[in-house]
Amino acid sequence: MKYYILVGEASGDLHGANLMKEIYKQDKKAVIRFWGGDLMQSVGGTLVKHYKERAFMGFLEVLKNLFKILGFIKFCKVDIAQFNPDVIIFIDNSGFNLRIAKWAKQQNFRTNYYISPQVWASRAKRVHDIKRDVDKMFVILPFEEEFYKKYNYKVSFVGHPLIDAIANRTQVDEKVFRAKHQLTNKPIVALLPGSRKQEIVKMLSVMLSLVDDFNEYQFVIAGAPSQDFSFYKKIIGTKEVAFINNKTYDLLSISFAALVASGTATLETALFKVPQVVCYKGSVISYYIAKRIITLKFISLVNLIMNKEVVTELIQDNFTTQNLKKALGNILDVTHRETMFLMYYDLEKKLGGKGASRKVATSIIKDLQTINS
């Protein structure tokens, strides 16, 4: 059978790659064409467009690149029509994917969505479009099933794919890792400033402002695979800080604490049981537009899933050197850390067990076999 998978960012590339592995295991004749990244490409199939080509963040950035985005949408429709897949699988990336889903449904393609758009955070009316355009939705957060039920739309909770991604990784030898990357023996504070240039620029310099105040720790930047070191170097300047590219999981596995840009990385950090402070700063206009349409109490997945403040969130004007210094000091304190560890374990229980990718692949293939029989 033929599968067309659409991914728009690094986290989707990870989940897309694991889903592809499961599809190939269960369908030996699978032909996969996809928009994704290096991880998906390493599994097999045919890469159409790399997510780096369309990594736009925030309302202003999208507006500036609107004609380019419209060009991608037009090209995608043509490519799908020519490939003529048995199913299109959308992974997150709602701005792009929901537009393609609407067109695809009109063309009578089967549409499956893995990792729901965050309609529970803003613009809930999009649920009506999803009901119309998506044949089957697989959700990964425990509260999403109840949310969709309010709209009389049945979805499948499959657990969170990060549990598998972290459990299946090769364990790192800390001594070897430190030697390879020329790290000291000091406890590590990992800096995860995001993957897009706009967010890195706005957050990394504030994170780095703490280096001199916590010189008993080694600060290490987790470089995103989508950015070169030369870009980071301009921000780092003369600060005494280490840089490790595309090894975030290995770094988190040996970290003592972390400063993390809001997004999937906050949940990854929690699953590695690393105390963290969540950070976010966007352009002023983008932030105030978002503030008007987002209805949530929290921005981090950790706090959203637990429905309480487990990790400190420093957002926009509150993301300052002074506030960050205080918050980091808190998560270095023994008592505070023990409390956070306990809540992290509760968080993992809520996320369900292993096997998200396998469950999604099994369901998709079973449905296709039923349709084709």
CATH number of the domain residue 78 falls in: 3.40.50.2000
CA–CA separation, 312 and 160 (whole Å) = 23
Packing angle, helices 321-331 and 197-208, rounded to 10: 70
Is residue 180 located within the same domain as residue 105? no
pLDDT at position 226, please?
A: 74
Is residue 343 located within the same domain as residue 365? no
pLDDT at position 55, please?
A: 59
Tell me how far CA of residue 211 lies from CA of 64, 219, 266, 277, 349, in angstroms.
35, 7, 21, 15, 35
Domain range spanning residue 207?
A: 171-350
Is residue 72 located within the same domain as residue 220? no
pLDDT at position 65, please?
A: 58
165 domain residue, yes or no: no
Is residue 29 located within the same domain as residue 149? yes
pLDDT at position 186, please?
A: 96
Is residue 118 located within the same domain as residue 228? no
pLDDT at position 107, please?
A: 97
Tell me the residue ranges of DSSP E strands in 200-340: 218-223, 242-245, 257-261, 276-280, 312-315
Are 56 and 33 a contacting pair, CB within 8 Å?
A: no
Is residue 362 located within the same domain as residue 318? no
pLDDT at position 94, please?
A: 87
Is residue 343 located within the same domain as residue 214? yes
Structural domain count of the chain: 2
pLDDT at position 103, please?
A: 97
CA–CA separation, 267 and 278 (whole Å) = 10
46 domain residue, yes or no: yes
Say what the pTM is.
0.80
Is residue 102 located within the same domain as residue 116? yes
Is residue 86 located within the same domain as residue 180? no
Segment-wise mean pLDDT, segments of 10 residues, the chain, 373 residues: 93 92 97 95 96 62 62 94 98 91 97 93 88 96 92 94 88 94 96 88 93 96 88 91 94 97 92 96 56 65 92 92 97 94 94 91 96 82
Is residue 37 located within the same domain as residue 152? yes
Is residue 233 located within the same domain as residue 141? no
pLDDT at position 225, please?
A: 79
CA–CA separation, 347 and 307 (whole Å) = 10
Is residue 116 located within the same domain as residue 247? no
